[in-house]
Amino acid sequence: MFLSKKNSFEYFQSIFWKFVLCISIFYEIFLISLLFKTKTDARNLQYICSSLGKKLPERSYAENCSLNFEIVKKQLDGFVISHTIGSYIKALLYRDYWICWIMTIAFEILEYSLEHQLPNFAECWWDHWILDVILCNGIGIYFGIKTIEYFQLEKYYWKDIKPKKNNVYSFNNLFDLLPKSSFRHYIGLLMIICFTLQCELNVFYLKYLLWIPAEHYIVTLKLLIYSLVCAPCISEIYYYYIHPKYNKLGLHTFFTVSNIWTETIICFKLSKGEFTKPPPLQVKIFWIIFILLIIIYPIITFYIIKRFRINRKKEE
Q: How many domains does the chain have?
A: 1
Angle at 7 between CA 156 and CA 4, to 5 degrees: 140
**Each residue of 11-57: pLDDT tens digit?**
557 888 899 999 999 999 999 999 999 999 999 888 888 888 888 88
User: 244 in a domain, yes or no?
Assistant: yes
Collapse the DSSP code of 165 into the 3-class scheme (helix H, G, I; strand E, B; otherwise coil) and give the result: helix
CA dihedral over 28, 262, 128, 70, signed as positive or negative: negative
Helices 78-94 and 97-114: crossing angle in degrees, nearest 10, is 140
Could you tell me if 152 and 112 are in contact, meaning their C-beta atoms sit under 8 angstroms apart? Answer: no
* More reliable by pLDDT, 73 or 271: 271
pLDDT of 1: 36
Instruction: Tell me if 221 sits within 8 A of 49, measured CB to CB.
Output: no
This prediction has a pTM of 0.88
Compute the distance between CA of residue 136 and CA of residue 126 in angstroms, rounded to an integer.
12
- b/e burial code for range 228-258 (CB count within 10 A of at least 16 → b): bbbbbbbbbbbebbbeeeeeeebebbebbbb
Round to whole Å and give the CA distance between 138 and 88.
Answer: 9
Q: Which domain does 160 fall in, by range?
A: 59-277
The arithmetic mean of pLDDT across residues 169-179, rounded, is: 56
Q: Is residue 18 part of a domain?
A: no
For residue 166, pLDDT over 80 is answered with no
In a domain, 83, yes or no: yes
In-domain check, residue 40: no
List pLDDT tens digits, range 238-269: 988 877 677 888 899 999 999 999 999 999 99
Name the nearest CA neighbour of 235 among 255, 217, 248, 253: 253
Cα angle for residues 235, 266, 218 (degrees, 5° grid) = 70
Nearest to 204 by CA among 213, 195, 193: 213
Please state, in angstroms and rounded to a whole number, the distance separating the CA atoms of residues 131 and 70.
14
The whole-number pLDDT of residue 79 equals 72
Mean pLDDT for 63-90 is 78
| Residue 276, pLDDT above cutoff 60 | yes
Per-position b or e across 104-141, b if 16+ CB within 10 A of its CB: bebbbebbbbbbbbbebbbbbebbbeebbbeebbbebb
Long-range contacts of the stretch 220-224 (C-beta < 8 A, 24+): 223/82, 223/86
Which residues does residue 61 pair with via DSSP β-bridges, in sequence order? 123
Q: What angle is formed at CA 66 by the lines to CA 64 and CA 70, rounded to 5 degrees?
A: 85
Q: Is 26 part of a structural domain of the chain?
A: no
Residue 111 lies in a domain: yes
